[in-house]
Amino acid sequence: MTPARSAVSGFAIAIAILIAGLLLSLTVGRYPVSLGDLISVLLAKAGGHRGDVSAVESVIFQVRGPRVMAAMLVGAALAVAGTAFQGLFRNPLVSPDILGASSGAALGAVLGIYLSLGVFAIQATAFIGGLIAVGIVYMIGASVRSRDPILVLVLTGVVVGSLFGAGVGLVKYLADPYNQLPAMTFWLLGSLSATGVHDLLPLVGPVAAGTVVLIALRWRMNVMSLPEEEARTLGVATGPLRIAIVAAATLVTSASVAAAGIIGWVGLVVPHLARSLVGPDFARLLPAAAILGGGYLLLIDTLARTLAQVEIPLGILTAVIGTPFFIWLLTSVQKTWS
C-alpha cells in the first residue's frame, strides 16, 4: 500500500473513532437517547423549529452537548500538544506536561480553590499558572549555554515541575480538609462533569489559536525533528521556531488543564496511534492526532459517567486504559517511531 493510500485509510479510521465517540456520548447515559430521537432533534434544530421531544433536546443541547464539545477540544488539544512536543524533543516518551505546564496549572487551580474564588477565576488562575511555569522554564533554559538546548529545557522542566508540585502539596496541606481539600483532589484527577456552555468560550479560543499555529508550522516541524545541526544547515532558525512551537503547545495544554483538570496519557498515547496510522509527516500527523484525541477522550468520558453509580475521574481512567494500550501499541506496531 502506498503512503498516500495508507494515510487516507488512517484518516478514515480516525474519523470513524470520532463519529463513534460522538454518537455514544450523545446517546448513552442516565437518560438514554435513541439514535432516531437524536437525529430528529438535530434536524429540528437545523430547521429552526422545535419538535415534540423537548426533554431529549434539553439533554442533548444543555447537558451533554457542552460536555461533548469540551471533551473533543481537550482531547484534540492534548493530542496535538503531545505530538508537537514529541517531535520537537525527538523523544517518544514526551507528553504535554514535559515543561511543567500541568504542574503550574495545578498550582494555580488549587490556589484559586484555597482562596475560595469562583469557577471562572479558578480556571483563569490555572491557565495563568501553566503559562508562568513554562515561561520560567524557558527563561532558565535560555540563560544556560549548552550544545544541547533541548536537553536543558527538559531537565529544567522536570525541576520546575517538581517545585510547582511541591507548592500544590503545600496548599493541599493548608487547605480545609472538609471542603477545600476534596475539591482540590477532584479537580486534580480531571473531570468534565461541571462543564457548561459558559466554559466553552475560554477553551475554544486558546485551543484554536495554538492548534492553528502548530498546523501552520507543520513543514518546519518536520525539519525540527532532525538533529539541531542538521536543522540549522537546512536554513531553519531553530531558536525562534522552538519558541513558537513551545508557546503554541503550552497555550493549548494550559487551556485544557484549566478546563478539565490534569488528564494524563492522552498526549502520550494518541500521538503514537496517529503516527502508526498516517506516518510521521506532521502535515498529516497533527490533524490525525487532533481527530483521534477528540474521539479518544469522548469514549473515555462516556465510560467515566456510565461505568459506575458515581462518576470516575478522567485521570484515573486514562491511566488504567492508557497503560495497557500503550504497551500493546509498542509491541504490536512494527513501524519505527521516526
Q: Which secondary structure element, helix H or strand E, spans residue 102, and what is its range?
A: helix 101-114
Q: How large is the average pLDDT for residues 163-172?
A: 96
- Give CA 282 to chain center in angstroms: 17
Interval 260-287 mean pLDDT: 92
Mean pLDDT for the chain overall: 88
Closest-CA residue to 106 (of 156, 161, 158): 161
Quote the cell numbers at residue 253. 495544554
DSSP 226: S
Scanning the structure block, which residue is given the C-alpha cell 475560554? Answer: 202
Rounded CA-CA distance 1/24 in Å is 32
State the Cα–Cα distance between residues 132 and 105, nearest whole angstrom.
9
> Strand, helix or coil at 282?
helix
Let me know: does 21 contact 302? Beta carbons within 8 Å. yes
pLDDT in tens, 111-132: 999 999 988 899 999 999 999 9
Q: Does residue 228 surpass a pLDDT of 80?
A: no
CATH architecture, domain 3-332 = Orthogonal Bundle (1.10)
Residue 152 phi, psi dihedral angles, 5° rounding:
-60, -40
pLDDT at res. 333: 56
> Which residue would you say has higher pLDDT here, 54 or 221?
221
In the chain, where the domains are located: 3-332
Q: What pTM value is reported for the model? A: 0.91
Q: Which residues 6+ apart lie within 8 Å of 317 measured at CB?
A: 300, 303, 304
Give the mean model confidence (pLDDT) for residues 235-262: 90
